[in-house]
């Protein structure tokens, strides 16, 4: 019996490419939501609306201000195996309601382990962390695609 390999998300920006492994095996609901949005081209042209130095960059809001999302909400999906312990964790942003994640996601710029158990980590940057580190408010995602 062969183990299914996790796919990779590829974010193209004017500053370079960011690639991250999608933990489909450990966060199936969250990754399925992200993949579906990427395949619908939902993220294409959206900006990173939040940058907190040393903490996170955040994007995926269709309004560009952190208040919007897609037409769907997903339940909080956390596992002790997926942590915010270092730069490059990819997780879903949400409101104070744990089951309010939609389309907004963030990538950590450093250790954010205080978020563990409260936000759904669903990926890890495998290439392009220097690009992540260079992102500023308003930088756009030219495209977001999923590869094998």
- With left for phi above 0 and alpha for psi between -120 and 50, is residue 54 left, alpha or beta? left
Mean pLDDT of 56-82: 97
| pLDDT over 50 (residue 2) | no
In percent, how much of the chain has pLDDT > 70? 98
Is 58 contained in some domain? yes
Burial code (b: 16+ CB inside 10 Å, e: under 16) for 107-133 equals bbbbebeebbeebbbbbbbeebbebbb
Domain extent for 118: 8-147
| pLDDT over 60 (residue 1) | no
CATH of the domain at 97: 2.40.100.10
Model confidence, pTM: 0.96
Is 3 contained in some domain? no
What total number of domains does the chain contain? 1
pLDDT on residue 4: 72
8 Å CB contact between 141 and 128: no
Q: pLDDT tens for residues 88-132?
A: 999 999 999 999 999 999 999 999 999 999 999 999 999 999 999
């Amino acid at each position: 019996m062969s183990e299914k390999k996790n796919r990779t998300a590829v974010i193209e920006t004017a500053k370079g490419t960011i690639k991250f492994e999608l933990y489909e095996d450990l966060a199936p609901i969250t990754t399925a939501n992200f993949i579906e949005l990427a395949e619908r081209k939902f993220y294409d042209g959206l900006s990173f609306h939040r940058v907190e130095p040393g903490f996170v960059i955040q994007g995926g809001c269709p309004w560009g201000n952190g208040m919007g999302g897609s037409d769907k909400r997903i339940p909080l999906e956390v596992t002790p195996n997926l942590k915010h312990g270092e730069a490059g964790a990819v997780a879903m942003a949400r409101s104070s309601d744990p089951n309010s994640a939609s389309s907004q996601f963030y990538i950590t710029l450093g250790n954010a382990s205080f978020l563990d158990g409260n936000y759904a980590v669903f990926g890890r940057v495998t290439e392009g962390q220097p690009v992540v580190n260079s992102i500023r408010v308003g930088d756009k995602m030219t495209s977001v695609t999923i590869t094998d």
